[in-house]
Amino acid sequence: MAATIPSPCLCLVTDRLQTLDRPLETVVEEAVDGGVSMVQLRERDLRGGQLLELARRVRSITEGRALMFVNERIDVALLCGADGVQLGENGIPVSEARELIGDRLLLSRSVHSVEGAANAVDAGADLLVVGTIFETGTHPGRTTAGPKLISDVAGVVNAPILGIGGINHSNVDQVIVAGATGAAVITAISADPDPRGATQDLMSTMSKAWADSEAIIR
């Protein structure tokens, strides 16, 4: 049976070209030490064999400590023993992915609208990555939706939601207050001189916002 998504959840999305020249594995290990609860391996330029080798090294770091998802590659996710696969909005249909893997992996879908979110959950997605929330250096000029998109999605689906796009220590609380289960970040951790400390700061802010939101609900 597939794993479950922790609440709140901080996900590191990898980019080995934005690690300040440190090995990706070093950044991942420091992030996991700091409290990252999910790592999404997203190295789109690597061929299958190279990606699998890297995935196995990353899995050895996350095993028993954090969930691991592989971007798009169901085959690599299965071979490395990952917990899930991240499907792009225009990637493999969720329903067909679910038919292929059964309950062996969690399925996460990237979405950019309420309609896309509802369709993904109806098709069997276990997790939604919703964005782009704030302006981000990795995709300059892209239209941003703001935290309201998370609120709108949370109002129509019953599934964990991770906000993505320009999220950092200064705004992660807005994402949680809007109704997200957590946040997915890249440079807020990988491009920080102290990935462990950056992770701890993000988790602290996010956990406080989560606790405050839960108190309001109660």
pLDDT by position in tens, the chain (length 218): 468 899 999 999 999 999 999 999 999 999 999 999 999 999 999 999 999 999 999 999 999 999 999 999 999 999 999 999 999 999 999 999 999 999 999 999 999 999 999 999 999 999 999 999 998 766 666 678 899 999 999 999 999 999 999 999 999 999 999 999 999 999 999 999 999 999 999 999 999 999 988 766 54
| 9-217 belongs to CATH 3.50.50.60 | no
Query: Whole-model pTM?
Result: 0.94
- 3-state SS class at 172: helix
- Domain borders along the chain are 9-217
Place of tokens 């950056």: 198
Token code pair at residue 139: 């995709």
